[in-house]
Each structure stands twice: as C-alpha cells, then as structure tokens.
Amino acid sequence: MSNDPKEPLLLDHEYDGIRELDNNLPRWWVWLFYITIIYSAVYLIYYHVACQGDLQAAEYAKEMRAGEQIKNAAMGKFEASIPTSQPITDVAALEDGRQTYSKFCAPCHRVDGGGLVGPNLTDDYWIHGSNYCDTVKIIWDGVPAKGMITWKTVLKPDQIQNVASYLYTLRGTKLLMPGKLPENQAPAKPAAPSGFE
C-alpha cells in the first residue's frame, strides 16, 4: 500500500506527477455488482442454455398473434352484425350513403351507377352475389386484384352499411346514358327487398 503515512490511500506509483488513490468501494456497491454477475449467470442459463423463456423474436410473434386474435374478434363481431338480407331504409342513412357514393365510388362506378372502371350497379347482374350481405362484404374487403378498393381501411363500418344500402336505391333506375353491359351472364335473382325495385 502507500508509503506515505500522511496519505494512507495514496498508492506508491506515479506517472508524470499523476498519483492514484485506493478508495475502498462502498459495500452496497460491491454487493450490487455481485448480484448483477449472479443475475447474468441465471439469465444465461434460463434463456440460452435451458431455453425456458421466450427470446425477443418469440415474444414478438406471441404479441402479434394476440393482436391478430383481437382484430379477428372485432371483425367477426362486425360481420355478425350485418343484416343478411335487408339494406337500411332510413332516409338519413341513405343520404349519408349517397354522399359517400358520390365522393368515393362515382369515379369508378359513375354517378348514376352505370359503371366505368367498375361494373354497372343498376342492373340485375352481379359478379359477387346479389344479397345485401354480399354487397357489404365486397365493399368491406374490395377486390384489389380487379381494382375495387378495400374500403374497410377508408370508411367506417356504418358508412359502408349506408353506402351499400344506397346502392340498392340505384337498382333498376333509368340511366342518363347507356350503362356498362352485364359482366356476369347468369342473371342473379335480386334479393333486394321490395321498395327498392
């Protein structure tokens, strides 16, 4: 230890006038240090040797699965809430549907529903089924491969129901100019309720 009796902590080496003090570390600090060493050994054995705990990637996958389940449950709830055959007849809902239609749908389906990029929505020919539930589903999911947008990411569920209901008011209406020809050659019996024909 130190040669200097006046400075017992001073070590005897010296480098260009720089001396070193040998302070004792506080006990609590030393114990904390030992605990981290023990902890790291336990951690290493638990996660990497015995492979008991989930590592980051596994935890990520687990969280994603849980999220997916929550999403599917919410979607299932929405789908179960769709009336299977009856479009909404409420005037305010139909007006909301008309506004959504002219803003988002008319560019492809034409203001009067006669069809442009998208098919004619006023005839009795349907590609994806003629009942109300089919219509809601096709608007909800879209047909991305064919250019029909997945509207669930843009519109709220009730907006989708309103615009789907509005489509039934276009059925059989007189077009301003000739509409697109039927896409599907087998005429589907429309399941729209009376009052919309």
* Alpha-carbon radius of gyration of the chain: 36
Length of the chain: 197
Q: How far from chain centre, in Å, is Cα 62?
A: 17
Task: Name which of 19 and 137 has its Cβ closer to ligand HEC.
Answer: 137
CA distance 132 to 164: 7
Task: Name which of 7 and 95 has its Cβ closer to ligand HEC.
Answer: 95
| Sole binder of ligand HEC in the list 151, 162, 169, 191 (CB under 6 A) | 151
| Sole binder of ligand HEC in the list 2, 19, 99, 108 (CB under 6 A) | 108
Q: By CB under 6 A, tell whether 191 contacts ligand HEC.
A: no
Q: By CB under 6 A, tell whether 192 contacts ligand HEC.
A: no
Q: How far from chain centre, in Å, is Cα 37?
A: 43
Q: How many of the other CB atoms lie within 10 Å of CB of 118?
A: 20
Q: By CB under 6 A, tell whether 119 contacts ligand HEC.
A: yes
CA distance 88 to 137: 15
Q: By CB under 6 A, tell whether 110 contacts ligand HEC.
A: no
The span of 20-28, 32-40, 58-66, 127-135 binding ligand HEC (CB under 6 A) equals 127-135
Q: How far is the CB of 109 from ligand HEC (least distance, A)?
A: 5
Specify burial of residue 151 (Cβ count, 10 A radius: 0-12, 13-18, 19+): buried
What the block records as the tokens of 13 is 């080496």
Q: By CB under 6 A, tell whether 187 contacts ligand HEC.
A: no
Which residues are at the interface with ligand HEC (CB under 6 A)?
Answer: 100, 104-105, 107-109, 117-119, 126-128, 135, 138-139, 143, 146-149, 151, 163, 167
